[in-house]
Amino acid sequence: MNTLNFIADTMPATEILKTISGKTVFSIEIKQASDIQKINLQYIHSKSFYLNTSCYLSLYFNFNTKDAKQTITELVNQKNTLIQLFFHPHYEKINGQPVLFFNLNGEKNEVNEALISSITAYCTQQGFDGIKCIYTGERTVSSINNFSFLHQYQDLNSFTTAYFHLLSKEFYIAQYYGILKAPQNIIGDMIHSKLKTEANFKKEFPAQFNFAKQYCFFKKQVSLLENELECTKEDLKNQKIYLKIIKEQDEALKINEFYQNEYEILPLWYKKFGHVIKVLMGKRAWRSLFDNNVKKYKH
């Protein structure tokens, strides 16, 4: 019903990934620019990670406000590394847009918006249709569309209680559920607890559960339709540009094309017969048929 997003300093070990069932996102926490180097590119390009269809990669920006501007400058300088991550088939995307998480506690600020603007511009140059930003916080914020709940891990019981509350009381459905500082050896148990909590939600609130399933389905359909709409808009835009180019073609080219298609393709005997008719009608001099130096037309 929701997608778990485990936030940590590094990706979990291969043995842990093998035990995961159901879509799960792992976000590398970025507090400073050097944290990008912690991402093991060799690991995420390994066969084991490619073949694991349940695990997806993302980035979670958690800046210290004091050093944020300097960090952003350094991050922009490492944009080639970011792009390499974005092009990975297991990088988390929504409608083809790479997903980035920001810990803003429900608040946007100019510093992060500057980073988003820089990354968006560079992604557009590389062929992406922008990026998708998800703002995280420890309390739900209805005023922000792209919001993700952030859970500070303590133990399994606190996770189960918090998750059940979100499902039953706040109808938190078809979104990301961020989990910060969860030990790697507990990830499998948390995924199992999530599924068990959803089963309890279905048992105690069957009507709400059915609505939730329908909501998940329609939300996915809306996402697909939005993507199709954008593709259609782009196609119509290209067709308008093409028609504009055709309409603005040089008239001389059209005249020349008409001449080639309507006159030059005629057989030579037909053209000569037409010249004789013009002589008989008095519109052309007789000698002009034999001498190119003679004026052809009398008027």
Domain 3-204: give its CATH code: 3.20.20
Asked if the model's pLDDT at residue 245 lies above 90, the reply is no
Least confident range of 9-18, 35-44, 106-115, 252-261: 106-115
* Diameter over CA atoms, the chain: 110
Question: What per-residue confidence (pLDDT) applies to 106?
Answer: 44
Integer CA distances (angstroms), 97 to 123, 128, 149, in order = 9, 6, 20
Backbone angles phi, psi at 143, to 5 degrees: -75, -10
- For the four alpha carbons of 167, 180, 156 and 10, in that order, the dihedral sign comes to positive
Q: Pick from 176, 177, 175, 178: which is nearest to 219 by CA?
A: 175
Q: What percent of the chain has pLDDT over 90?
A: 19
Q: Which tokens in the block code for residue 235?
A: 């196609």
Q: Give tens-digit pLDDT for 184-228.
A: 889 988 999 999 999 999 999 999 989 988 988 888 888 888 888
pLDDT, tens digit, 9 for 90 and up, residues 64-97: 656 666 767 777 777 778 888 899 999 999 888 9
Where is 187: in which H helix or E strand?
helix 187-204
- Say if residues 171 and 205 touch (Cβ distance below 8 Å): no
- Rounded CA-CA distance 97/134 in Å is 12
Higher per-residue pLDDT: 297 or 169:
169
Q: What is the amino acid identity at position 265?
A: I
